[in-house]
Structure 1
Amino acid sequence: MVEPAESPPLALRRAIHDALAADAGLIALLGGTRVYDLPPPSPDFSYVTLGEAQVSDWSTATERGEEHRLTLHVWSRQGGHREVHAIAEQVQQVLHDAELAPAGAHLVNLRFTSAEIRREQAGRLHHCLLRFRAVIETE
């Protein structure tokens, strides 16, 4: 039985995950390879999760394409805002204008668009929402 090809949105998520999980600077800040699509039930802090996505048609008269609005989450219980800011900055450095190669697609660009940092759980948890925009041409 032949496995179906991975869809472009899933291939893009995999490429983002793999780029983050391979970055030594990020791994050092997180204290391990703590980059998840779905975190374990009781994850060690700090960690990054791949979150929500919006996918829109971005096709032209001659090329098929998609625009992806992606949210990544940084979670921290240590160091106040300092740690969550440092991790968020490293994620931005890894992904902004990254030359990723998602299977079955060509990444035109991947750009950081915004960050929102907040305290949650009565100030015991720091959470950063990082938003990126990606444009891919599909095959």
Structure 2
Amino acid sequence: MGDPSLDLQKAINLRLRTDIAAVDNRVFDRVPADVAFPYIELGEFQTLDDGAQCHDGMEVYATLHAWSRAIGQVEVKTIAGAMRGALREAELDLGPDWQFLEIAHQDTRYLKDPDGVTSHAVLTFKALVAAA
């Protein structure tokens, strides 16, 4: 049994590619150098044992990034809202090793990049999973 963050990453990637038309299937783990905007980047993941002795459960924190070069922050905020909506109460398939229990949005930060052109949203989600 591997780390549940990999299976969660795969499930989130599939859900965002399926549900967010604004990025036209541009959801990346490693962003290509010549990528078109807007796009979503699968960022950092952290896995924590939930501490319960009665089951093999884990908390997985997922940080997701949305990037836009449209004027203002309307596009990046719209994409961030769509990301929250796509994952809210989602039933994600983690494969045979992990049982998905739930995912919840923790916070969103909106940033203006120093280049003066790029808008950036950083979203954090917390998922609960258990060994299957």
* TM-score normalised over the length of structure 1: 0.88
Q: Over aligned residues, Cα RMSD in angstroms?
A: 1.3
SS of residue paired to 1:80:
coil
Choose from 11, 17, 25 the match for 1:15.
11
Q: Aligned residue for 1:79? A: 71
Q: Which runs of 5+ in 2 are unaligned?
A: none
Contact 2:4 2:60 in 1 (8 A): no
Contact between 2:71 and 2:117, CA under 8 Å: does it hold in 1? no
Q: What's the offset of the Cα at 1:6? A: 5.4
The reply on whether 1:132 has 2:125 as its aligned counterpart is: yes
1:1-139 equivalence runs, <5 A:
7-23=3-19, 26-27=20-21, 29-30=22-23, 32-103=24-95, 104-139=97-132
Task: Write the distance in 2 (CA, Å) between the matches of 1:97 and 1:68.
Answer: 16
State how many pairs are aligned.
Answer: 131
Among the aligned pairs, what percent are the same residue?
31
Unpaired runs of 5+ in structure 1? none
Match of 1:15, as an amino acid?
A: A
How far off is 1:54 after superposition? 1.3
Structure 1 distance, partners of 2:38, 2:44, is: 19
TM-score (normalizing by structure 2): 0.93
